[in-house]
Structure 1
């Protein structure tokens, strides 16, 4: 039987409601899983056949430490997703290099576009931390400048009205196979409480959304146990990438009957 670490963080509020379903599905596939903090100094990562990065939701406060841990762990066990993927994906400037439509993004506090409403957030963040939505260009500029002053890269984006009407679509892939997709509420914060995540609904993605998601994933050479591709439609109707979640995405395992089993099967294949 393979033994795998389910990599998490010190979680006093026990926010991760996907841990137990995932571990149960792993056991059904002959994989013994154990929840382990990524920053636990007493863990011998070489005792695991693989370390699966999951609810590491505190990495944004210690990104350098987290990436150093990923390199150490990968030196002695199979890390999923790999350290190179984690390093690139934990800084959202990767969006500039995807070569596909993304939500329009301005990467500084200077010369902001003439948009009616702004969303401003840092390139290294999780959920909606340090994110504002405002109709005031001066407020958007000031928040972006404050992020720059703190040594952070700002992302200034237009607020898209179609997010309210259509919502965001998240496509979930396990070992590059589409498992399921959900429509997320527009104000949903990634990977937090089960009450928030319950606001998502299972949906069938449109062919152009699947095509875009799989084009993006095809450009990544490393093994990917999981990937969540978050999409929205632009005013002209084209799908565009909001984020490509390859580090610690909430996977909506409770929203599709086979989702946890699909994840376990993918892990078994990669082992």
Structure 2
């Protein structure tokens, strides 16, 4: 009699990547990568909660995804305000149900020579790119931990590993998010949570519009990246679904680079 192991069964289990019945909170989801990931998770069956600071663009994004047949609601609150985060997460859990997946995506960029970088821009980067990851991650984990399950995906960056002139403070925040991800996994993996990072390389986003339009920069980038091109935001969805699904049940504290090979090439 042929014996089939659980591992072999899992290899043919098409539900491994299904997010059906799960609820995903995506921060910074009114546009860009956040909106793209929200749409992607929704198409794999997740119920989506869009978060952003401003209700109007958030509602417009909700309506667009709802028109596509996705199950989506909004939860506007400021991720840099810890009290607002705690109250916002409590409201989601109370009114919509348990948060099974968190995509910690909210982030900003500020560019300037390091010797001229302002304190205001430094504080803004720390507040949005680092503090918010801790605030939202902690608030969501406090509900996940008693349930013994949950997925947290922190959006890191190729700049979690590399640096480029003019964005040293941004690089500092994304390096910190990488290690915060490792710390979250170290503390919470034993309780059934998987906490990982998703690190985009150079993608065509609104944040990068000026760089995309800069022919000299694009030429340099295409020569620097083994894939030879900018990334398209939809190419992040597969990695996000993997890290949000049962397919990554034994993956913890990992930062998954989606960068066209940039971080492995000199």
Structure with greater proportional strand content = 1
Q: TM-score, length-normalised on structure 2? A: 0.36
Structure with greater proportional helix content = 2
Q: TM-score, length-normalised on structure 1? A: 0.35
